[in-house]
Structure 1
Amino acid sequence: MRTLAVLAMVGAYVFVSAAFAAGTKTANGSRVPSGDLRAYMHGVGATTDARGVSTVFFSSSGLPPRGAGRDRNWTHDVYVARWTPRQAMLDKPRVFISRPEAQEPVSVAQNDGGRVMVTFEDGWNTPNEVSQRYGVYTSTLQDVHPYPNDVLSGGHSGHVAAVGSRFVVFYSNDWIDGGGVDNLGTGNGVYAKTYDADGTLLQSVDVAPRRREWWPMIAGSPTHALLVWQQYVGDETYARLKIALLNPEDGTLGEVRVIAPRLRYYTYAATFVPSIDRFIVVATGADGKGLAQLIDESGTTTATLACMPGVVRESGITIVGDRAFTPSADGRLLHLRLTPSSIELTGTQPSPVKWSSLGSVGLVRSATRLHWVVLTPKGLREAEFDLTAAQPASAADRCTR
């Protein structure tokens, strides 16, 4: 029975009602809230080939999305759609991977040789309700080590990043009922596996094994992967946000640190900023206010923006030079100016489409224009941003009033 057993994880976010019914009991005992709109679409990412052609990958229950079936099972396939900066909109999407049961949320990464790894939680043909699976392809999506390959049977919630020529998949395993959002439970540990450019397993790393820590996110630099995840806090409605640096060349794991002690569950993202040689993490605290940190490849925080508008769950961060852009929970796009030792909220602008917690990704049209792709229960929505039209950040945005 595929009802996203181990992703039973959302409460009252942008498009997800807080008034869930008791939910569907799944084979491993966890629950998925009835009415969870991720049943329509969930997970999006993009890669770009040497010609400048971007491929957007997303998971959807058909186009237009149908949602859960009559048996309440989720039935996402993985779709791809091409885009170039000369196009107004994405090309017509096509199915890339399709099996019975759901393949979602899709996560993708491209290594320095152009190879692409695709990973997702898969409900098809697995003895453990779900399995974290992957495939490796060329930049034009020709088979190298194609799906289906198991990261781990029973694994879930995985995301992938490229580090040089290698790939790192960061995933969770197992489920513990109770606690967390709407008392639906938590994962039971986070783990990483590294792969070469052909998709061959190199190393396995226990990051936080057999603990109530889960929802692993990841970003890659030329030499390290930044691992970001949440830790359950008993009898509280917030989590702790934790990080560690992984060196996939030798499998060494750096110091594990808490960078936000009171996190709104699931509401964080990370990416690498090449121009300043830093990772950026954005998140929303339990009070609804946002925060951002820059982290170097030793795992040290080099800059902190302690307060800004809250960010949107599962939304991407798009980098243009020394600027970062990400959606805000109040319907705007945030503009952040970065140096190796500073983060400044310089401006905001309203979004022409409503953000969703199902996933979104920004594509760079030029130094002054972004194209944003948003997953919604009714299908893809696309938005164009003229970055020169931003308004300066207000005192309220900067939390100085």
Structure 2
Amino acid sequence: MEMEPSVSRSAPRSSFLRHTLLALACVLAVPSMASAASDPRQYMHGIGAVPASAANTFNVFFSASGLPPRGADRSGSWPHDVYVAQWHADTGVLDAPRIFIRKPEAQEPVTVARNRTGQVMVSFEDGWNTTENVTQRFGIYDTALRPIKPYPQQVESGGHSGHITAVGDRFVVFYSDGWITGGGVDNLGSGNGVYVKVYDGRGRRLHNVDIANERREWWPMVAGGSTRALLAWQQFVPGQTEANLKIAIFDPTSGRVTGEQLLHHHLQYYTYSLTWMPAIERFLLVGVAKGNGFADLIDSTGKVRASIPCMPATVREAGITVNQDKAYTPAADGRLLQLQAGPDSLTLSGTLMNTDGKRVQWRPVGSIGMQRTSGTLDWMSLTEKGLEQLHFDPAKTQPANAVDQCR
């Protein structure tokens, strides 16, 4: 997903203005970068994977400005297209990527979900042929990626930062809309609300729900459970350079929102992620607050069942990979964290190094973990030079030490 500082909901689109603003926004999005021109999102941004039609095969989607990535063009615009490549769990081989969607202006960051009956939704923030700076668009395809209701379908004109999931046979699209300048890190401002739309496998809209209507709340993330979805987003705090983290439970059948709550103060902007752990019927949320990582185990009513209040900081836009009662996610210090969960328990059980023994320079533009049939993990990380495929072996997990557990 991407923070998109639109000038206004009614402003005409300008590719130069759009990406000039995005370059400025990188200071907020990636505080460690030395200059706006080095924003790594201009090269690659957004990655996701869903099962393909063949057994033990997955379709991996990502947004990139060419392969190898070129970055911004001479006008400052980002020329991202959406690529897809098949990954094979038996061998760990990633086939050569092909362009799935190509249009002028950026189609990024891509987010993808597959529903119970095999339909696949692909969605992203789109700068092509819009009446406003950007628009959130989608397409729906069958398991073999043949079109059912193909791109370009519109979620919301002016919509941005969308994230999607599937619950049963329905798709849940959680997105932001509008931008308010001023305040926050470097006085760059905030989004102006978060919203949900629900679609069936044919692309028909079933619900349209305001979660935070025209309020300074944005950067939506969603995870789909067995019957409900968990929504998470950040709330602007006047006079501060940190945010509040809010969550709610969403029922895609009724369109009802319950359990809305402020879960964390002093959130590091944009640095949180969430997933569903089907073996224990719980949502897992990780993030960074007050400079340290945290993790929460949440049930389908929104109740927090267990927490890790302090652990190594996690990485912006990094995925969480689940294997039964264990979950893995990158740490900002270059390792991979292993969390172990039960229905009412959650611990930092260990850390993993890349199989080459070196710490990874995780980039804040998207990564996902894929589990091989052998049990090892391939982690696909987007970088300025292209997609990097890393390898981790859970059999070589090191126990979490006292520093990792903030003791």
- Taking structure 1 as the reference length, the TM-score comes to 0.93
Structure 2 distance, partners of 1:231, 1:5, is 24
1:156 pairs with 2:160: yes
1:303 pairs with 2:306: yes
Q: Is the 8 A contact 2:19 2:76 kept in 1?
A: no
After superposition, where does 1:333-372 map in structure 2 within 5 Å? Answer: 333-351=336-354, 352=358, 353-366=360-373, 368-372=375-379
1:81-128 alpha-carbon deviations (Å, 9 max, x no partner): 101112333111110000000000000001011111000000000010
| Other-structure match for 1:190 | 194
Show structure 1 runs of 4+ deviating over 4 A: 4-9
Q: Is the 8 A contact 1:46 1:54 kept in 2?
A: yes
Deviation at 1:366, TM superposition (A): 3.4
Deviation at 1:34, TM superposition (A): 3.4
1:122-151 alpha-carbon deviations (Å, 9 max, x no partner): 000001010000000011100010000000
Q: Is the 8 A contact 1:318 1:361 kept in 2?
A: yes
After superposition, where does 1:1-400 map in structure 2 within 5 Å? Answer: 1-2=14-15, 3-4=18-19, 9-11=25-27, 17-20=32-35, 33-49=36-52, 51-285=55-289, 287-351=290-354, 352=358, 353-366=360-373, 368-400=375-407
Give the secondary-structure state (helix, strand or coil) at the position aligned to 1:11: helix
Deviation at 1:180, TM superposition (A): 2.5
Q: Is the 8 A contact 2:85 2:95 kept in 1?
A: yes
Structure 2 distance, partners of 1:221, 1:9, is 33
Structure 2 distance, partners of 1:143, 1:6, is 34
Structure 2 distance, partners of 1:333, 1:13, is 22
Paired AA for residue 325 in structure 1: Y
Structure 2 distance, partners of 1:204, 1:218, is 15
Q: Is the 8 A contact 1:45 1:107 kept in 2?
A: yes
Alignment: residue pair count: 386
Q: Is the 8 A contact 1:189 1:213 kept in 2?
A: yes
Deviation at 1:225, TM superposition (A): 1.0
User: Residue 10 and residue 231 in structure 1: after superposition, are their counterparts in 2 closer, same or farther (change >3 A)?
Assistant: farther
Structure 2 distance, partners of 1:168, 1:43, is 18
Q: Is the 8 A contact 2:336 2:352 kept in 1?
A: yes
Structure 1 distance, partners of 2:101, 2:249, is 31
Paired AA for residue 270 in structure 1: L
Give the secondary-structure state (helix, strand or coil) at the position aligned to 1:262: strand
Structure 2 distance, partners of 1:12, 1:206, is 26
User: Residue 9 and residue 301 in structure 1: after superposition, are their counterparts in 2 closer, same or farther (change >3 A)?
Assistant: farther
Structure 2 distance, partners of 1:165, 1:49, is 17
1:173-232 alpha-carbon deviations (Å, 9 max, x no partner): 000111223222110000000000111111100000101100001100121111100001
Identity %: 52
Structure 1 distance, partners of 2:347, 2:215, is 35
Structure 2 distance, partners of 1:139, 1:384, is 27
Deviation at 1:161, TM superposition (A): 0.4
Structure 2 distance, partners of 1:267, 1:171, is 17
Structure 1 distance, partners of 2:234, 2:304, is 18
1:270-320 alpha-carbon deviations (Å, 9 max, x no partner): 0000000000000011x2110000111111111111111000000000000
1:221-280 alpha-carbon deviations (Å, 9 max, x no partner): 121111100001111110001000110101000121111111000000000000000000
Structure 1 distance, partners of 2:259, 2:92, is 45
Give the secondary-structure state (helix, strand or coil) at the position aligned to 1:96: strand
User: Residue 6 and residue 131 in structure 1: after superposition, are their counterparts in 2 closer, same or farther (change >3 A)?
Assistant: farther
Structure 2 distance, partners of 1:54, 1:5, is 35
Paired AA for residue 63 in structure 1: L
Q: Is the 8 A contact 1:346 1:393 kept in 2?
A: yes
User: Residue 115 and residue 5 in structure 1: after superposition, are their counterparts in 2 closer, same or farther (change >3 A)?
Assistant: farther
Q: Is the 8 A contact 1:44 1:360 kept in 2?
A: yes
Structure 2 runs not aligned, ≥5 long: 1-13
Give the secondary-structure state (helix, strand or coil) at the position aligned to 2:110: strand
Structure 1 distance, partners of 2:340, 2:147, is 39
Deviation at 1:5, TM superposition (A): 7.4
Deviation at 1:19, TM superposition (A): 3.5
